[in-house]
Amino acid sequence: MPMYSFVILYVVAEIWTTCVCSSVENGDTNTSKLSDEPECRNVVYQFGGSRRQCIIKKELDDAIEKVSMLQNRSEENVGEQLQELLKRIQGMVRGIDGKLEQLEAFENRIEEKLDRIAEKISPDIDNARSCNRTCPIGYEYYQPDKFCYRVHKVCKSWYDARDVCRQDGGDLISLKSSNFEFFNEVARSSTGFCFNSYVWVGATDIGSAGTWFWLNGEKILSTFWYPGEPNNPVDNEHCAFFNYFPSKLDDYLCSTESNFLCQIYL
């Protein structure tokens, strides 16, 4: 029953107390003697005036009291239900926290696996990237040492040849044991454009008085030289190029014009 119904019943009961029950309690059951107030007339019109009606009023009071008790008890039940619901929500939150911790641990394991995979494939990726690098026009890429090279088929002195390589973004080539023979063959296949058929490389003893170095600062191994070289017969041979018989280095006048081999690191 809606709450406003109980309010109406309660108001009616209070009016009834004034209009009827007070007369009944005084032993007067004659409705004609009831109060002539408008509220009383309305009650008398609707219910009449009798002892039975006083009993009804008391029953209404008892009913209102019971409803009030039930309402209080319902409020207590609602509070208990809210507490239970709160406990369930807290349990769900704890469960979610646990799942989040599991997901975080799983994510960490995935990251560790990805790191291990990256370590394994990193060299292959580097090689692939190196292969995709673009060398300047006319240059080729040397994968093992990751640089570009080119034999310039023009006749230049060692100094002028070095200037050309620098303008390209590199220098005359510096070699080592692992690539010496390869570039010796590259140079041999590109000769014949100058009178001596030699190819300048980045080898010199300028500034080091008979001690020969590559332009990258590495000392030149004795096994790279043609037998009896470097001889510097009149103290004027301070640059070196490839001598193809038997494919070794030979010191010569730096002013001699020859082809040359450039190197560019990307």
pLDDT of residue 260: 94
Task: Give the rounded percent of residues in the chain with a pLDDT score beyond 70.
Answer: 64
Nearest CA among 228, 165, 169 for reference residue 201:
165
Which tens digits make up the pLDDT trace of 117-148? 887 777 666 655 555 568 999 999 999 999 99
pLDDT category of residue 23 using cuts at 50, 70 and 90 = very low
Q: Is residue 60 part of a domain?
A: yes
| Bond into 227 cis (ω within 30) | no
Residue at 238 is within a domain:
yes
pLDDT for 202 beyond 90: yes
Same domain, 230 and 146: yes
| Predicted TM-score (pTM) above 0.75 | no
81 and 177 part of one domain: no
In the predicted model, is pLDDT for residue 167 greater than 70?
yes
Domain count of the fold of the chain: 2
- Which residue, of 85, 103, 130, is where some domain finishes? 85
What is the per-residue pLDDT for 189? 80
> Within 10 A of 28 (CB to CB), how many other CB atoms are there?
13
Q: Is residue 70 part of a domain?
A: yes
Q: Which domain holds residue 229?
A: 140-265
Residues 58 and 173 in one domain: no
Residue 112 maps to a domain: no
Tell me the β-bridge partners of 225: 249
In a domain, 62, yes or no: yes
| Burial class of residue 130 in the structure, from the number of CB atoms within 10 Å of its CB (0-12 exposed, 13-18 middle, 19+ buried) | middle
